[in-house]
Amino acid sequence: MINELIAKIKKTGAPIVVGLDPTLKLIPKHLLEKAYKECGENPEGVARAIVEYNKGIVDAVADLVPAVKPQIAMYEQFGIPGLIAYQKTIRYCKEKGLVVIGDIKRGDIGSTSEAYAVGHLGKVTIGGVEYRGFEEDFATVNPYLGSDGVKPFIEVCRQEKRGIFVLVKTSNPSSGEFQDQKIDGRSLYELVGEKVAAWGEDLKGEEYSYVGAVVGATYPEEGRILRKLMPRTYILVPGYGAQGGKGADLVHFFNDDGLGAIINSSRGIIAAYQQEKYAAYGEENYADAARQAVLDMKTDIKDALDVAGKHVRM
Amino acid sequence: MINELIAKIKKTGAPIVVGLDPTLKLIPKHLLEKAYKECGENPEGVARAIVEYNKGIVDAVADLVPAVKPQIAMYEQFGIPGLIAYQKTIRYCKEKGLVVIGDIKRGDIGSTSEAYAVGHLGKVTIGGVEYRGFEEDFATVNPYLGSDGVKPFIEVCRQEKRGIFVLVKTSNPSSGEFQDQKIDGRSLYELVGEKVAAWGEDLKGEEYSYVGAVVGATYPEEGRILRKLMPRTYILVPGYGAQGGKGADLVHFFNDDGLGAIINSSRGIIAAYQQEKYAAYGEENYADAARQAVLDMKTDIKDALDVAGKHVRM
C-alpha cells in the first residue's frame, strides 16, 4: 500500500492528504437540514449529513489528491451511527480510488493490539468466511506501550500489505512534555523515531517502509532531525494550516527525492468556505471552496519544494 | 464516580474489576452455536454470542465485584456489530449496578480528544437534545501527547462526574522501551505519574482523584514508587493472573488505608472454565467457574493485604 500511495503522490503531484474531520460547526446548514428531514434531528441525522458532506468534498478533490484521513474521534463522538458514517466514508473514498489513512491512534498490547489491527487493517474469520471491519489502508498507532503494542499491527500489515504511521512528535503545543524529554542527551521522540525506523526495516516497500511516522508541521526543526534518523520512513505531517504550519516549514520533512512526506490539512480544506479567502464560494458551494484550497495548498508546497530543490523523479 | 467506585469496593470487600474481553476462543461453544442459529455465522452472530457470554458472567459476579472493564478492541475487531455488542454490554452492566471502566486507551489533541471524551464519558447535543454514545463511567487514556491530550478528558469528567485512568507503566514486557527511559536519573513513567497526580489535583473526589493511573501488576517495584508519587490517585492494575502478577505483588499498589488500587483480571475470570483448576465446572457452567475464580482472587488479595497490614476502614 505504501507503493500505491507513492504512485498516487507522483501521479497527482500533490503530497497532500485531506483530513475528513467533520464536526457540527463545519457541516453546511443545507446538508444538516436535509439530513434531519430524512433521518430526524438526532445522531442518525448527523451521521447522514456527515456522509453527504464528505461525499461532496471527496467528489471535488478525488482527482487532485492521493489520500484522505478521516479522524475516527469525530465520528465516534456520535456513537454507533457516527461509526457507521465512518465506515461509509471509507468505502466511498476507496470507490473513488483514494488511499484511506484511518486516524485512529490506537495502541495496546499483544492480542489486544492485534484485535485493533484486525478490525481496521485486516479481517476476522468466522466459519471459514472472512469479514473486514473498517477497511482502512493505513492506521495511526500510539507507541507509548513499546514494541509489544506496535508489532501486532506490523504483522497484520505484512499479511494485508497495508501500513501504519506511528506517533513520533505530535503537532500540539504540549507535545514536548514527554516527547522532548532528554535521555542521555537525546529527545524521547528521537528514540521513538529510531524504533520506528527499526520496525520498518522488516517491512519495506519499493522505496519506503510500510511503517511510517507522524511528525507535526509545527515542529520543522524536529522534522529535520527525524528525516535523517528515519530515511526510508514516510512521514505523515499534521498541523499545516489551521494549526499554524506553513509551506516553507514543510521542506524539512521531505527527502531530496521529493518524497518521504505527506501533508495533512483538515479544516483548512473541508471548511475552506468558512475562511475569508474562500467566502465568495458560499456555504452551498463548500466543495468547490475545498477544491480551490487543495489547489492553493499544492502550489504552496510545490513552491517551497522548488526553492529547496527537492524534486520528484517520475 | 470515583466516590461511587470506592463505596462499592468497600461494600464488596473486593478491589477487583472483571475484564470483559471476549474472543472467539473464550466463548463457550453452546453460546456460539445458539447465536449463529439466531443471527447467522457472521459478525452479527458473534456479537450476539459476546453479549450473552458477558451477561452470564455479569449475572454470576455482579454481587461480588464493584466494576467491570470491557476492552473495546475485542469488540471493535468485529466492526459495527462488535461495537453494538460493546454498547449493549455496558448498558447491561450498568443496569446490574456495576461501575464500567471502558478500556479504550484513546488519546489525541484538543477538539479530537474532546470528541473521544464526549463519545465515551459525555454527551453530544443535537437540536437541544442530549445523546450519549457509549456511556462508560471511566475510560483509559494514553498520555503520549501530553496535557493537550488529557485535559479535554478531564473537562468532560468534571462536567459529568466521571473519571479516567491514564497509562503510566503498562504491564507488558516491552513497556520499558520508552516508559523506563531515564530523564535526569528518573524514569519517564515517574514523570508521567507526577503529571497524573498534578492533573488530578484539580478534580478530587472525597478521598481520591477522578484522574487515576494504570500500572501493571507485573511491575510491583515500579508500583511501589508510583504509589508514593501519586498518593491520591486510584491505580487500575492489569496483569494479574494470566500475565503473571500474583497477590503478594499487589500490596505495593495499595495505600495503608487499604484503598487506592483496583485489580483487573480478564481471562483468569471469564475463561476460568478453561483452566485445569476450574475444569470440573464444565464449559456450560462457565459463569459458575467465573464466580469461583472471583472468590479465589478476592481471598488471594485479602490474604496479601492482611499480611501487609493494609485494611480498609468501613
Residue in chain B closest to A33 (alpha carbons) equals: B127
Tell me the mean pLDDT in the region B82-100: 98
Q: Report the candidate in B87, B86, B93, B71 with the shortest Cα–Cα distance to residue B214.
A: B71
Q: Do A21 and B112 touch (CB under 8 A)?
A: yes
Which residues of A are less than 8 Å from B116 in CB distance? 73, 76-77
Of the candidates B10, B34, B94, B105, the residue annotated as catalytic is B105
- What percent of chain B is predicted at pLDDT more than 90? 92
At B263, is the pLDDT very low, low, confident or very high (cuts 50, 70, 90)? very high
Determine, for residues A77 and B124 on separate chains, whether the beta-carbon distance falls below 8 Å.
Answer: yes
Cβ <8 Å between A133 and B178: no
Amino acid A243: pLDDT: 65
Give the three-class secondary structure for A14.
coil
- Position A244 pLDDT exceeds 90: no
Give the pLDDT confidence score for residue A106 in this predicted structure. 98
- Terminal-to-terminal C-alpha distance of chain A: 18
Nearest CB to A172: which of B82, B87, B148? B148
Residue A248's pLDDT is what?
82
**Grid cell 521529493 in the structure block, residue:** A258
pLDDT band at A121 (very low <50, low <70, confident <90, very high): very high
Which residues neighbour A258 within 8 Å (Cβ) at sequence distance 6 or greater?
A305, A310, A311, A312, A313
Q: What is the pLDDT of residue A241?
A: 78
3-state secondary structure chain B: CHHHHHHHHHHHCCCEEEEECCCCCCCCHHHHHHHHHHHCCCHHHHHHHHHHHHHHHHHHHCCCCCEEEEEHHHHHCCHHHHHHHHHHHHHHHHHCCCEEEEEEEECCCHHHHHHHHHHHHCCEEECCEEECCCCCCEEEECCCCCHHHHHHHHHHHHHHCCEEEEEEECCCHHHHHHHCCEECCEEHHHHHHHHHHHHHHCCECCCCECEEEEECCCCHHHHHHHHHHCCCCCEEECCECCCCECHHHHHHHCCCCCCCEEEEECHHHHCHHHCHHHHHHCHHHHHHHHHHHHHHHHHHHHHHHHHHCCCCCC
Q: Which residue, chain included where needed, has cell 451511527?
A: A81
Confidence of residue B311 (pLDDT cuts 50, 70, 90): confident
Q: In A, which residues are within 8 Å of B79 by CB distance? A: 87, 119, 131-134
Task: Give which of B107, B21, B31, B24 is closest to B68, Cα–Cα.
Answer: B21
Q: Which residue is closest to B47 within chain A, CA to CA?
A: A126
H/E element, A263? strand A261-265
Q: Which of B113, B144, B153 to mutate to test the interface with A (most CBs of A within 10 A)?
A: B144
Cβ distance A126 to B41 less than 8 Å, yes or no, reads yes
Nearest to B214 by CA among B237, B191, B231: B237
Q: Which of B80, B109, B170 sits opposite A170 (nearest CB)?
A: B109
Amino acid B312: pLDDT: 79
Q: Are A167 and A177 in contact (CB under 8 A)?
A: no
Distances (CA, A) of A223 to A107, A188, A266: 23, 14, 20
Rounded CA-CA distance B67/B19 in Å is 9
In chain A, the percentage of residues whose pLDDT exceeds 70 is 98
What mean pLDDT do residues A200-205 have? 91
pLDDT at residue A247, rounded to an integer: 80
Q: Shortest CB distance from B119 goes to which of A76, A116, A173?
A: A76
CA–CA gap between residue B242 and residue B7 (Å, rounded): 28
Q: What is the pLDDT of residues A146-198, one digit of tens each?
A: 999 999 999 999 999 999 999 999 999 999 999 999 999 999 999 999 999 99
| Mean pLDDT (whole number) for A86-107 | 98
Q: Which residues of A touch B41 (CB under 8 A)?
A: 126-127, 129
Cell of A127: 466459519
Confidence of residue B314 (pLDDT cuts 50, 70, 90): low
Has residue A103 got a pLDDT over 90? Answer: yes
Q: What is the dihedral of CA B138, B140, B143, B146, to 10 degrees?
A: -30
As a whole number of angstroms, the distance between CA A310 and CA A299 comes to: 14
Q: How confident is the model at residue B247 (pLDDT cuts 50, 70, 90)?
A: confident
Of A269, A241, A237, A260, the closest CA to residue A312 belongs to: A260
The reported pLDDT for the residue numbered B230 is 98
- What pLDDT is stored for residue A116 in this prediction? 98
Give the model's pLDDT for residue A249.
Answer: 84
pLDDT at B305 over 70: yes
Give the gap in angstroms from C-alpha A39 to the nearest C-alpha of chain B. 13
* Average pLDDT rounded to a whole number, residues B133-143: 98
Residue B41 has pLDDT above 90, yes or no: yes
Distance of CA A127 to the CA centre of its chain: 34
Catalytic residues of A: 105
Largest CA distance in chain B: 61
**Residue A212: burial class (beta carbons within 10 Å; 0-12, 13-18, 19+):** buried
Backbone angles phi, psi at A212, to 5 degrees: -100, -175
Pairing of strands A67-70, B16-20: unpaired
* Distance (Å, whole) CA A155 – CA B307: 44
Contact A43, B124 (CB under 8 A): yes
Query: Region B97-101: what's the mean pLDDT?
Result: 98
* A139 neighbourhood in chain B, CB within 8 Å: none
Which of B178, B203, B193 shows the shortest CA–CA distance to B223? B193
CA of B160 to nearest chain A CA: how many angstroms apart?
A: 15
b/e per residue, A154-191, with b = 16+ CB within 10 A? bbbbeebebbbbbbbbbbbbbbbbbbebeeeeebbbbb
Q: Which residue of B has its CA nearest to A179?
A: B144
The residue with greater pLDDT, B248 or A277, is A277
Which residues does chain A have within 8 Å of residue B35's beta carbon, measured at their own beta carbons? none
A19 bridge partner residues: A69
At residue A246, the pLDDT reads 75
Long-range contacts of A292-295 (CB under 8 A, 24+ apart): A293/A265, A293/A268, A293/A269, A294/A14, A294/A16, A294/A18, A294/A61, A294/A64, A294/A65, A294/A269, A295/A64
Active site residue B302: no
Q: Which three cell numbers stand for residue A131?
A: 469479514
Count Cα neighbours of B173 within 13 Å in the Cβ-side half-sphere. 6
* pLDDT at B252 > cutoff 70: yes
Grid cell at residue B293: 475464580
- Mean pLDDT over B110-125 rounds to 97
A242 — pLDDT class (breaks 50, 70, 90): low
Task: Give SS3 for A311.
Answer: coil
pLDDT at B245: 65
Task: Count CB-CB contacts under 10 A for residue A221.
Answer: 9
> Which of these, B70, B188, B262, lies nearest to A179 by C-alpha position?
B188
ipTM tops 0.85: yes
Residue of A nearest to B177 (CA): A146
pLDDT band at residue A314 under the 50/70/90 scheme: low
Q: Is the pTM of this model over 0.95?
A: yes
B247 or A291: which leads in pLDDT = A291
Tell me how close the Cα of B313 comes to any Cα of chain A, in angstroms. 35
Mean pLDDT of B172-194: 97
Q: Which chain B residues are within 8 Å of A107, Cβ to Cβ? A: 105, 142
Tally of residues, chain B:
314
Among A142, A194, A195, A215, pick the best mutation site for testing chain B contact (most B Cβ within 10 A).
Answer: A142
Select the residue of B46, B83, B118 nearest A80 (Cβ to Cβ). Answer: B83
Sort out which chain B residues have CB atoms less than 8 A from A192's CB and list them.
178
Does B301 have pLDDT greater than 80?
yes
Between the CA of residue B302 and those of A274, B176, B254, B312, what are the distances in Å? 60, 29, 12, 10
For residue A130, the surrounding DSSP H or E stretch is strand A129-131
**Distances in Å between the alpha carbon of B250 and those of A152, A233, B87?**
28, 41, 31
Q: Which three cell numbers stand for residue B269?
A: 475470570
The pLDDT value given to residue B244: 67
> Residue A274: pLDDT above 70?
yes
Task: For B187, name the nearest residue in chain A, comparing CA atoms only.
Answer: A183
Q: Do A115 and B182 touch (CB under 8 A)?
A: no
Point out the residue among A46, A116, A192 whose CB comes nearest to the CB of B178. A192
DSSP code of A63? T
